[in-house]
Structure formats: C-alpha cells, structure tokens
Structure 1
Amino acid sequence: MCAAGRRWGRRQRALLGAVLLAAWQAAWGQLRYSVPEEMPKGSFVGDVAKDLGLHLTEISDNAIRVVSESSTQYFALHGKTGHLVTSERIDREQLCESVQQCVLRCELIVEGDMKFYGIEVEIVDINDNAPSFQEADTDLRLSETTAPGSRFPLPDAHDPDSGRNSLQSYELSGDEHFSLAVQAGPGGDQRPELVLAKALDREEAAFHELVLRAMDGGDPARTGTARIRVTVVDANDNAPVFSQAEYTVRVPEDVPVGSTLVTVTATDEDEGLNGHVKYSLKKKKSSSQIFHLDSETGAITLGQSLDFEKGYAYELDLQAYDGGALFDSAKVVITVTDVNDNAPEISVRSALGEILEDAPSGTVVALLYVHDRDSGVNGEVRCSIDKEVPFRLESSH
C-alpha cells in the first residue's frame, strides 16, 4: 500500500496525467474494538477521535475517512462525534460461519497527515440461532436379527452460532429398545448414533417412533428436533461392503459442471432384493448443491462450478443399502486445487491530482492497494513502474 502526499498550496503546481506510486507512511499501532452482531445501523463501536487524538474539525471536513477491502462497508465515522459506528446490520454467521473468532478489518485514512491506522473489530456472537436438522424426518429400516449393541448414524444438527451458543448436546426419547451415543468427530463435532439396546421382534412391534433433540448452551437454551421412524424388517444375512472405507479425489477448480469425479462401489453377497445395492449421500449445507450422487451406479458428479477461493475441501458421507436395509458407510474426500483464474486488482485509495515541480524527493503522491484473490504462487503479486518517469515505487506487506 502507499499513501498520498500533502497538498502544497501557494506555489506553482504541475498537473500529472498518470497514476503515480510512491512511499507511504503508516501510523504505529492498531485500534481494536468489539461489538455484538445484529446491532442496528449507526450503533457505537469505538471512540476513534479520542483514541487517536484527532480533531473533530478534520472529521467534519471529510479529511478523515474509513475504507475497507470488502465490497460492503460495515463501518463509518460519525462526523460530529468522531465515533466509529456500524453502517450495516452485521450477521456474524453470514460472515464467519466456520471461523471461531470473527474479526472485520478496515483502515482510517488521514488525508492531511498522509497516515493510516489499522482498525480491527471483533463481531461477538449472540444466541440468535437454534440448532436445526436439515432433514426433520428420518426413516431407518433394521432387521429383526440385528444384534443388541449395534450402532446406526443419526442426522446431526447444525447451529451457526459459536462457543457456548453453538450445539452442545443431544437427547433421545422413544422406547426401551434404543439408546443414544454421541461420538466426537475429528474436528470436535458431535455425531449422534442410535444404539440398539434390546433385541427387536417384528411380530411384537413393526415400527418404533423416536425423537432426537439437539440443544445449544445459550441462556435460555435453544433446541431443534428430528423425528426418527424405525421400521423392523425380516432377516437379511449380508450387508453391502464398500470397496474402500475412504475415497480421495483431487480436482482443479475449473473442472466442467457435469463431470464424474469418482464412482464408489459396494457389493453384497446376498441374492435378489437383499443383494441389490443402492447408494445415498448424507446432505450437508456446504455440499448439498455442489455434488450429485447416482443412487444406482454410485457415480458422483459435479452439480455446480467449484471455486477454490470459496471452498477447497469437501467431505461426503455415503451409505450403501441393500434391499433388506443393511448398509455400509464410506467417506469421500474431495480436494479442490487452485487455478490461476483471477487477475490482480489495483484500487486507488488516495492520490494527488497535482504536485509542485520543485517538490522534494520522497514526497508521497499516491496510495494504492493491489490484491489477487488466488492462493499460493497464483496469488503472489509483483508491482513495477515505468523507469522513464521521475517516480519510484515502494511497497509494504
């Protein structure tokens, strides 16, 4: 970044017809504030004028302004008070659903002094979301010969809030044949499982109705529910078996929509209906529209374009069912590789329109920001300036 230099007032000026790059001056230190999410527009964030010792006349004369890299400007400077205030209602879950600490960054540019200050604002979570199940009703078919102690995956709930306000526990209500177990996933997530506590007898009860309840840790707590219907079916000797417990796939982000990414296979030694295998995909919000699974062939195809900058890894949970409702589970891990599909972007943060012909060497004349949305080497940017002009380019990271 670069900062534009002080305007010189009473001597001869020379008009420049090109964008000029020069050295910039950054103020030491950085302001940090916090504000709860969902606050109304115009809510107080911090007293910038007091914290930086700025004059309100500079603010009222528009000599000081707030800018950010984001296309949406979430903060503004109140001209009469010098307070940093919200300029939009901020939804933390929309901005930082998968990030524990949500921080928005902007810059305060002081035009006259050619300085800028970094500002970090933490968006504090409130318990404004209840846990919810993507599928409110789930049907399970269990053989009456299923051994007590057998476990079956249940739908998991999602709560976009963070910390104690996020999903904390599950409860199961139903009958004596079933209990609930909760396993910890690799990322610390909770995965509910249905445990068969007592042997099933189809002649005694052909159906079992259960209710799975998910609760967060807010005060008061919020809850979400899903209904589980268990159908008891006659015996089936063999369950399908996937050829792999985990399938891994690497695809470039520009792979065409409709392409087959991987085909999973499972076999069942039974004959007839009990040996006919079908595949199902456990839907997740992050991938439900991106990937499609053919229930008959096991082929996973791309349903919409990938973007490495928006998502670079996906996990799909699959199940293979036979005609008697026995099943096997497998995981597909899809890694998206970056393609250099974004050009560097240059934005002028501040620039002089004219400069004295006898201005001293090192005078700051323009502040620019250069950014490339690609990652790794594809996102590295090098800047240069025409050697025949009387200016030099300096940069800061």
Structure 2
Amino acid sequence: MAAWQAAWGQLRYSVPEEMPKGSFVGDVAKDLGLQLTEISDRGVRILDKGRTQYFALHGKSGHLVTAERIDREQLCERVQQCVLRCELIVEGQMQVYGIQVEIMDINDNAPNFREAEKNLRVSEMTAPGSRFSLPEAHDPDSGRNSLQSYDLSGDEHFSLAVQAGPGGDQRPELVLAKALDREEAAFHELVLRAMDGGDPARTGTARVRVTGLGANDNAPVFSQVEYTVRVPEDVPVGSVLVTVTASDADEGPNGRVKYSFKKITERASEIFQLDADIGAITLLRSLDFEEGNSYELEVQAYDGGDLSDTTKVAVTVTDVNDNAPELTVSSALSEISEDAPSGTVVALLHVQDRDSGANGQVRCSLDGDVPFRLEKSYEDY
C-alpha cells in the first residue's frame, strides 16, 4: 500500500484488491492535518462517487477503510488502471477533499479455457506442417498476473505454435510435426496448458483429443450401374420412386456418402427430388404420361473427399386410363336431298383419346334407328 499527500485538495491511495472489509486504506486525518476531535465535532463523512459504498471513515482513528471486499476484475474489466473515487466532506469547515484509490491487481485468477475439451479429426494423409486452431484461455487479471504463455504435452506427432492476434492476444495452434498412421495409433491425447506470470504462477488446462482418420483411398461405388423403374402416372405425390445406394470402404468422413443430381433437365428437376443422405428419389408433383413418359437422371455419390461415382436412373411412366375420348365435328352438311345416293358423306368426325395403347383405342357407334352408318377414313398411330 502507498499513500500520497493531498495535492490541490486531492488524496491518493492504493490498496490490493480482495482485502477484507474494514482493511486500512489511508490515514486521512493525518494527511489532511485534522485532529480526531475535529472529525467527531465537525461532521466529517465519506461520500462515494458510485452506487456502492466501497470506503468508510473510522471515526476513532481517522483512517479510511474498506467498506466492502473489492474485486478489481468485476469493477475494471479490460481497464489497465483501476481507480475508485470518493469525497471526504468536512461539514464544519464547508470543505470537500477528493480521494482517489487505485485498486491493485493480485493474482487471484487462473487462466481458464471456456472450451475445456477439443476434438480434432485429422486424416493420415494430412501433410506435416499443417495447423489446427486450439482453444484460447482467458485470464481477467492484468499485467504479469494475466496469461503469459502456453505449452503442450502429448507425443512426437504434434507441436505447439502461438500466433499473435491483432489485439496482441496469443492464439495457440496445433502443428502436425509427423504424419499420422492410424494403424499405429487411432487416437492421440494431448494436454494444452496456459500459464500466467504470477508468483506463484497459476495454470489452466484443456484436453485435446486427435482422432486419426484413414486415407481417402476408396471411392464410393453404386450398387447398380443403372436403375430402371416403371411407375404409373397416377402415383401419389411424395412417393419414393427408387432409392439409389452407394458404399465406400473408407472410415469416418471419407466413407460417409452423400448424393446429388449430376445431370437433370429443368423440367425433371421440378418433378423429382433427391434425398442427399439416403439417396431416395421422391415425386414432387403429379406425373402425366401424356406430357412425358420417360426421364433419364444422372445421380452422383461423393464422399468426404473428392472421390465420387455416378449412376443413371431411368424412370418410365406407364399410362393410366385417365382421359376420355374426345369427339369433334370437323365438317357437316346442314341439309341433304332425299334422293342422295347411299354412301354420300354427310359429316366428318374426328375422335381421339390422349391415352396410349388399349387405353387410347376407341370404338364408335351410332345410337338409335337412323339412316346413317359410320365409316373409318383413316387412323392416327
């Protein structure tokens, strides 16, 4: 603790943080030349500048003491110099003396990792020298009592590098010093330690678990070179038409297969949907045989790396008898002579059915006892 004589009516003291309530801060009576009798007779009191009363005046000794335990980190986070201000009022003299109390940091906080455990997945094909970010520690103390350094304990495959951030903060990185061999060790357990500069120093730790991944040396393979599916045109929307499947012999992300359309027309993209995770192709909207009776899609399976395989999906839409025949009168006589010879054409009729095959074949007949017959002139195929 230190005290400075009043200058221009100011007193300045310093006190370590976390002192118990009632701890000595400064001898106000002596520094201001006040007699103890004057303190009691003239109504001397302390007025704090903030909402909390951190200081009090001990009437019998004339000492300024702490009225609360003071936590510097709570009061002055990210502030290099933490100063509290109060006033000593001598009502009998109508005088006010300003008091500044600097709260000195003590090493009461250890570096702390918000992320106490870090899991990394590293392929055995990763080149030595590759870097991976590690959790950062935080220490609310200031100066030498704050975070000063990191170190790493583990094995020969890894080393530690610390980069300086834009604000001067330290950012630890894991460096692959030696290529991994999954057959040699599937997991690597490391301990990252952060240390401050206190005396004694305080430390915080985080555990780093590195999982070695097999090399991505196998491409996905579809179970079929081509998938063929026949579906009726009235299949409900949302139905799964076909599910394509591919397998990958690699482990971990390198063996995890995803699916996507590699080649699809704009029209087909409005009709079919592909589930990227399971390879199911579902129907987005109703099919219409008369609008399109076949579709060819190309599906790609790809793994966590750059390897892939493709397959074709041929969708054939089968016709359903969902259209009635349509009859139109192309031309007709409004009247006919009673002596017109047999075989005289009185009307040209056109009949069609948009369905195909048997569903599109029509038979025509005349109802009632009329003096006309039907003759087919030509047929569309």
1:58 match: secondary structure: helix
Match of 1:47 among 21, 27, 32: 27
| Structure 1 position 138 matched with structure 2 position 118 | yes
- Map 1:197-216 onto structure 2 (within 5 A): 197-216=177-196
Residue in 1 that maps onto 2:205: 225
* Residue 62 of structure 1: how far off its partner (Å): 6.3
| Structure 1 position 94 matched with structure 2 position 94 | no
Distance in 2 between residues matched to 1:59 and 1:97, nearest whole Å: 36
Residue in 2 that maps onto 1:151: 131
Alignment deviations for residues 295-341 of structure 1 (CA, whole Å, 9 cap, x no partner): xxxxxxxxxxxxxxxxxxxxxxxxxxxx959xxxxxxxxxxxxxxxx
Partner amino acid, structure 1, of 2:32: L
Distance in 2 between residues matched to 1:135 and 1:324, nearest whole Å: 26
- Does the 8 A contact of 1:170 with 1:215 survive in 2? yes
Partner amino acid, structure 1, of 2:111: P
Aligned in 2, Cα 1:120/1:275: closer, same or farther, shift over 3 Å? Answer: farther
Residue in 2 that maps onto 1:180: 160
- Does the 8 A contact of 1:234 with 1:324 survive in 2? no
Aligned in 2, Cα 1:272/1:175: closer, same or farther, shift over 3 Å? Answer: closer
Residue in 1 that maps onto 2:91: 111
Which runs of no fewer than 5 residues in structure 1 stay unpaired? Answer: 1-26, 238-269, 277-322, 326-397
* Residue 202 of structure 1: how far off its partner (Å): 2.1
Aligned in 2, Cα 1:206/1:88: closer, same or farther, shift over 3 Å? Answer: same
Residue in 2 that maps onto 1:312: none
* Residue 58 of structure 1: how far off its partner (Å): 3.1
Distance in 1 between residues matched to 2:254 and 2:182, nearest whole Å: 22
* Residue 201 of structure 1: how far off its partner (Å): 2.0
Alignment deviations for residues 264-313 of structure 1 (CA, whole Å, 9 cap, x no partner): xxxxxx9995889xxxxxxxxxxxxxxxxxxxxxxxxxxxxxxxxxxxxx
Partner amino acid, structure 1, of 2:159: S
Q: How many residues align?
A: 222
- Does the 8 A contact of 1:235 with 1:324 survive in 2? no
1:76 match: secondary structure: strand
Distance in 1 between residues matched to 2:258 and 2:51, nearest whole Å: 55
Match of 1:171 among 151, 158, 168: 151
Aligned in 2, Cα 1:53/1:144: closer, same or farther, shift over 3 Å? Answer: same
- Does the 8 A contact of 1:143 with 1:324 survive in 2? no
Residue in 1 that maps onto 2:57: 77
Alignment deviations for residues 164-194 of structure 1 (CA, whole Å, 9 cap, x no partner): 1111111101111100001111222111110
2:115 match: secondary structure: coil
Taking only the aligned residue pairs, the percentage that are identical comes to: 82
Residue in 1 that maps onto 2:224: none
Structure with the larger RCO, 1 or 2 (CA within 8 Å, 6+ apart): 1
Distance in 2 between residues matched to 1:188 and 1:32, nearest whole Å: 31
Residue in 1 that maps onto 2:293: none
Residue in 1 that maps onto 2:173: 193
* Residue 56 of structure 1: how far off its partner (Å): 1.9
Which runs of no fewer than 5 residues in structure 2 stay unpaired? Answer: 1-6, 218-252, 260-302, 306-381
2:126 match: secondary structure: coil
- Does the 8 A contact of 1:41 with 1:86 survive in 2? yes
1:139 match: secondary structure: strand
Provide the aligned C-alpha RMSD in A. 2.7
TM-score (norm 1): 0.52
Task: State the structure with more CA Rg.
Answer: 2
* Residue 130 of structure 1: how far off its partner (Å): 1.4
* Residue 236 of structure 1: how far off its partner (Å): 6.4
Distance in 2 between residues matched to 1:38 and 1:62, nearest whole Å: 32
* Residue 70 of structure 1: how far off its partner (Å): 1.3
Distance in 2 between residues matched to 1:80 and 1:35, nearest whole Å: 21
TM-score (norm 2): 0.54
Alignment deviations for residues 211-261 of structure 1 (CA, whole Å, 9 cap, x no partner): 111111111111111110001224569xxxxxxxxxxxxxxxxxxxxxxxx
Distance in 2 between residues matched to 1:39 and 1:100, nearest whole Å: 19
1:138 match: secondary structure: strand
- Map 1:280-291 onto structure 2 (within 5 A): none
Partner amino acid, structure 2, of 1:189: D
1:49 match: secondary structure: helix
Residue in 2 that maps onto 1:244: none
- Does the 8 A contact of 1:66 with 1:106 survive in 2? yes
